[in-house]
Structure formats: C-alpha cells, structure tokens
Structure 1
Amino acid sequence: MKAITHLAAFALAGTALISTAFASTLEGWSTDLEKAFEDAKKQDKPVLVEFTGSDWCPPCIAMRKNVFSKKEFVDAASKDFILVELDFPKGDKEVKEKNQPYAKKYKIEGFPTVILFDSDGKEFTRFFASQYPSTEKFLGHLKKSLENKDLD
C-alpha cells in the first residue's frame, strides 16, 4: 500500500511539473497582444498570434514541441513577424482569463488557431497550426501567406 501511495504522489508531482513546463512562455514569443500591435506599427511588421491550450490540447502540445519552441522556427519567423502566444491553460486560471477577451473578439473556435495581422492590426489570414506540423511546412505556409497578402 505504501508503494502505491508513493507512486501516486510521484505521478502527481510529475504531472504538475509537465503542466508548468508547457504553460511557460516560449523564448522569442510575447504574451502581450496590445504591445505586439504597437511594436508591429513601429517596425512595420505583421503579427503572428497563436491561440493555444498549452497544457491540455494534444495538437497544441505537439506544435509547441515540434515547431514553436524550435530556435530555427523562432529565428526565421521573427524576421518577418512579431510572435505572440495567447494561451488558455487549464492549469493557470489567471492567464486564461486574461486572454479570454481575445478569443471572444477574434471568434476562436478551436486550438491551435493562428491568425496573421498586418502592421495596422487588420487580420489577413487564419488557419489551424496543426495543418503544418513541422518547422519547414509551417515556415513555407507563412511565406505563402505573406506573398498572398502582398497581392491584395
């Protein structure tokens, strides 16, 4: 019985650590959309906003691990975009409540959703990030999105 209690405690602690790790801010990403829009205007850069459930959504967790946390992705994408992550974690009610108005404003219907905004804050495309599950595919899609935006 003692072994089961220790095993349960260990599993619970591990789950808490994993949730905390997933809910942390990604390097190279902002969590402040309003500041990102200000920076975008100053730098004349579009904004990439990822809406995610970093500690409970399997496709979101996979995208974070395989694409968004990769130095290669952050270095390449941040040349063309201000990167913003708006998280809706189950493990952090304060963060979820802070970001909820944005989910409502932009009518987010699922995760992980990415919206691209021009430097004036006007949306020019949106898509489910998990359609592009590798750094190469995601960056390729971003490039096409920018090219199509420039044709407008």
Structure 2
Amino acid sequence: MLLDACDGGTQCARETMKSFIKICVAMLALHTSGHVFAGGEGWLTDIDAAKKSASESKKDLLIDFTGSDWCGWCIKLNDEVFKHDAFKAGVKDSFVLVEIDFPRDKGKLPEDARKRNTELGEKYAVQGYPTILLCDAEGKPYASTGYQEGGPEKYVAHLNELRTNKTRRDEAFAKAEKLSGPEKARMLVSALDAMKLDAKVVDNFYGDVAEQIRAADPKDATGFVKKADSGKRLEAFQKSLQEFGAKRDHDGALALVDKTLKEGGFDSEATVQLMMTRSAIFASIGKFDEALKAVDEAKALVSDGPMNPMIDQFRKRLEQGRDEAAKKAPEAGEGKKGE
C-alpha cells in the first residue's frame, strides 16, 4: 500500500498515479572490479567515465537505476532483457550502458560508491525502481522508462522509439532560437513536453530553458509557470506524505491529502493523483469501501480521459483486496471462538 515502504506498493502507486510508480530488480554477474552487475559485462558504474565514452563514441547514455539484490521488477527486466545478447547487440551502437545500484546488502558497494549513487538518484529525481533514463552524452535526460514485457528485441525497439524524443527536443530548441515572445516560449515548452520528464528532472537539468520561457512569456500565456508551481506543490506534498508514511500515521496522511485537495489550484491530472493517493491510504488501513468511493470520484473527474485504464486497474485491485479481507474475517472469528 501507499504508506508501506515496499517495492510492490511503490509500483502500485506509479501505475495508478500519473506515473508515480516503477519498481526494481537485479541479477548477478561477475565483473573484474569485484562489483556485481545486473546486466553482466558491458555496464559502467562511473557516470563521468560513461559521459566521456558517450561523447567520444557519439552515443547516448542508458542509465539503469536498480536494486540488484531486492527489486523484483529489476530482476525481471534483467532476466528478460538486459542479460540477453539480442539486447546488447541492439544497443551497442546507440548507448553507453550505466548501472546505478542501490543494493540492500551494503557489502556489495563501497561507502563512497553508495554515497555517489544516492546523490545521482536525487539529481535524477528517481522515485522508483527500475528507472531507466535515456540521456545525451552530457547526461541530460530526454526519456524515461522502466520494465517492459516482450523480451530484448521489443525492448530495443522501445528504446529506439524513445530516442526520437531527443530529435524533437533539439529541433524545437533550434526553432526557438529564431523566435521571440510567447511564440518562443511555446516552442521551448513543446521541447520539454516532448521528453515527458518529471518536473524535478526538468528543474535539475533544464532550468536554463525554464528561465527562457519565463522571460519570453511574462504573462504566462503558455501556462508553464502555473504548471511548474503546481509541480513544486506536489513535490512538497509527496515529501510530507513520506514523513507520515515513515511514522505509519495514516490519519495524518489523510488530513494532508484532504487539506491539499481543499486548497486546490491543480489541473485535473494532479487532482486525480491526489484523489488516488487518498484511496490508497484508505486501502492500506482496510477501509476498502472508502477507497473505492475515492477511486470512483477520481474517475468521475476525468470521465473518458487517458488515465481511466489505470484507474480501472487500480479499482480491480481494491475489489480483490476487499474480497480477500472479507474471506479472512470469518477465519479470524473462528480462531478466536476456538481459543
């Protein structure tokens, strides 16, 4: 559930709320450095060395943020994709592969490497595992993905499709240089939108572009500033929610969600995220009727929007959880009766 610090809960959250959810995994293969690599040989762990190699070979970076000894979805991704020759052959001319590992066994990485990886996770705003980022040779992300079923060939095709994000980004940046005012701002916004990155990633890597948009569009005709401010509010909300989760304070978490919803000022997608969060908290304390009601309210807000399939999927999970809880209740009662 949302307030549970587990990989399953994280994935559920990301699948149902915008893209909050992704989970991790890893398998082991020996490397001369003594570190174990999920995808086997051919993966670097030094981001600076990887950027240098990418620049010299005119390739992009594929960065895998993984948990090599605990993350189930990362292990699936490795087993089904990364360790296969078809994957390695499919990406060798396009990407320098980088593994940023977050193992639970602290003995798998020296302290300096764990510290460096933590800093990279924060810089790239990683929220779940596996997070796969495609970046240019300078380390600027232009696409994000995670586990995809279908095997190595299909995954390579997926990556190649995502590489077109960089082309659209660069073309829009070039066009924006010839424009001014709101037209320039709109072109720059289109460049950022083409990459579909989290707001925090945009802040960390494209802050200069954001400043250009603000300068070219002081009246915010593009709505970029409003959306950015909304994103920062959501980020602060998520941080506070994690604090309540760490304390297992469900009542406090619900109060935070209700307060944030009441304050308003979000677009429909962000509002649905908040409402789905509310549903997940209710489910985590066994209040499935309230959780289902919250899901239905979220769906009513977006009617036939693109988030509906995710909402429907989450509702089915809630129904399953409710049914399982109902089955366990009589069993618990029988146990007490026989005591």
The answer, yes or no, to whether TM exceeds 0.5 is yes
Return the offset for 1:60.
0.5
- Seq. identity, %: 34
1:21 aligned to 7, 28, 34, which one? 28
Per mean C-alpha deviation after superposition, the further-off stretch among 54-63 and 131-140 is 131-140
After superposition, give the CA deviation of every residue in 1:77-128 in whole Å (9 maximum; x if it has no partner).
Answer: 121000111111112253433311100111100000011111222211112x
1:67–1:146 CA distance, 2 compared to 1 (3 A)? same
SS in structure 2 at match of 1:83: strand
Return the offset for 1:68.
0.8
Q: Could you tell me which residue of structure 2 aligns to residue 147 of structure 1?
A: 164
Count the aligned residue pairs.
133
**CA distance in structure 1 between the partners assigned to 2:60 and 2:68 by the alignment:** 23
More helix by share: 2
Name stretches of at least 5 consecutive residues in structure 1 with no aligned partner.
Answer: 1-18
TM-score, normalised with respect to structure 2: 0.37
SS in structure 2 at match of 1:110: coil
Q: Could you tell me which residue of structure 1 aligns to residue 132 of structure 2?
A: 114
Return the offset for 1:136.
2.0
Return the offset for 1:132.
4.1
Name stretches of at least 5 consecutive residues in structure 2 with no aligned partner.
Answer: 1-25, 30-34, 170-339
TM-score, normalised with respect to structure 1: 0.78
More strand by share: 1
**CA distance in structure 2 between the partners assigned to 1:20 and 1:39 by the alignment:** 25
SS in structure 2 at match of 1:60: helix
Taking CA–CA contacts closer than 8 Å with sequence separation of 6 or more, which of the two structures ends up with the larger relative contact order?
1
**CA distance in structure 1 between the partners assigned to 2:140 and 2:93 by the alignment:** 19
- Bigger Rg, which one: 2
1:80–1:54 CA distance, 2 compared to 1 (3 A)? same
Q: Which runs of 4+ in 1 moved over 3 A?
A: 19-23, 95-98
